[in-house]
Amino acid sequence: MKIDYGKMTKSFLLGETKVNVSIMTHVQAIKEMLSNMRPKSQTEQNRLDAAFQHLREVRKQARRLQERVHTLEEQVKVLEEGADPDILELPTPEEDPMGRNHKTSRLRKAAMRRRQEAEKGLPRRKK
């Protein structure tokens, strides 16, 4: 098998070899760059400290968004499995101000149980 270096170089120069990288990888790279900076004055040190603080906040928000995406993907799976939207109780952002939902697996199990009960013709449970 012959390697086509021309094609390989062209794809590299055009940026076609980019790999999907997570946001946490980008945050880690920025943190490493900031860590390697050596401030020459107190003002630069204060700016660097502020940048680290902002980076920590970005990291927290990114983690929350990833958790929320995971939760929503699980809910989509449940809905695609044939659960009725009125049977599935979707959590609202007001339930958890941080946007996290730790009840996802319980919701999924409850939806499956309700779907099975509906298939058997059993009456719905009241809360």
Is 1 domain-assigned?
A: no
Residues 46-65 have a mean pLDDT of 96
Spatial separation of the C-alpha atoms in residues 88 and 111, rounded to whole Å: 5
Spatial separation of the C-alpha atoms in residues 44 and 68, rounded to whole Å: 36
Is 14 domain-assigned?
A: no
Is 12 domain-assigned?
A: no
Supply the range of the domain harboring residue 84.
22-120
- Write down the pLDDT at residue 82: 75
Q: State pTM to two decimals.
A: 0.51
Is 5 domain-assigned?
A: no
Distances (CA, A) of 67 to 15, 24, 71, 102: 30, 13, 6, 10
Give per-residue pLDDT as tens, 8-38: 888 777 776 666 778 999 999 999 999 999 9
Is 49 domain-assigned?
A: yes
Give per-residue pLDDT as tens, 78-119: 888 876 555 555 555 555 555 555 555 667 677 777 777 778
Is 127 domain-assigned?
A: no
The number of distinct structural domains making up the chain is 1
- Write down the pLDDT at residue 110: 74
Is 34 domain-assigned?
A: yes
User: Model confidence at 42, in pLDDT bands (50, 70, 90)?
Assistant: very high
Residue type present at position 75: Q
Is 15 domain-assigned?
A: no
